[in-house]
């Protein structure tokens, strides 16, 4: 059993609740402990994961958030830079599942967040579990 940290950027409560539920269910089904940390926005997720890595308390991470396109360029910055930050951490060998949704509208986000539909939170958790397995394979 390992400890996983779900780091969520809580902006759309109802969507985050579904994403976290899916991620939590996948991790607990695999027999792992789960904690949740809330950060102000998606841009803060990579920094929070980096700080948590330094604590050596967690075997893996799941990034959760929702970025819905608006009328300004801000969407592209938040979507791209949060993904870039997470990718940089994974390239350092940190098992992270990226469950940050980037959608055109709320309806698309609902379909992707809902555990009974596309369950992107659960998929992100499964990705983190797969990376943890790969990490263990190369560590032995």
| CATH number where 51 lies | 3.40.50.960
Average pLDDT across the chain, whole number: 96
Catalytic residue, from 74, 76, 77, 117: name it.
74
Query: Is 74 known to be catalytic?
Result: yes
pTM of the model: 0.96
Tell me what pLDDT residue 48 has. Answer: 98
What total number of domains does the chain contain? 1
Integer Cα distance of 48 and 63 in angstroms: 10
The mean per-residue pLDDT over the stretch 75-101 comes to 96
12: Cβ–Cβ under 8 A, 6 or more apart, which residues? 66, 68, 106, 109
Binding residues for (2S)-2-hydroxy-3-oxobutyl phosphate: 71-72, 112
Give me the domain span that covers residue 48: 3-139
């Amino acid at each position: 059993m390992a400890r996983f940290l779900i780091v969520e950027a809580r902006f759309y409560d109802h969507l985050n609740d579904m994403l976290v539920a899916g991620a939590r269910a996948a991790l607990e089904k695999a027999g792992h402990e789960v904690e949740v940390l809330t950060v102000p926005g998606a841009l803060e997720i990579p920094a929070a994961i980096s700080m948590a890595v330094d604590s050596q308390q967690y075997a893996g991470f799941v990034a959760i958030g929702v970025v819905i396109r608006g009328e300004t360029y801000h969407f592209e910055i938040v979507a791209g830079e949060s993904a870039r930050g997470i990718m940089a951490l994974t390239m350092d060998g940190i098992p992270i599942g990226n469950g940050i949704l980037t959608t055109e509208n709320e309806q698309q986000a609902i379909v992707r967040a809902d555990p009974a539909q596309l369950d992107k939170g659960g998929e992100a958790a499964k990705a983190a579990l797969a990376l943890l397995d790969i990490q263990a394979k190369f560590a032995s």
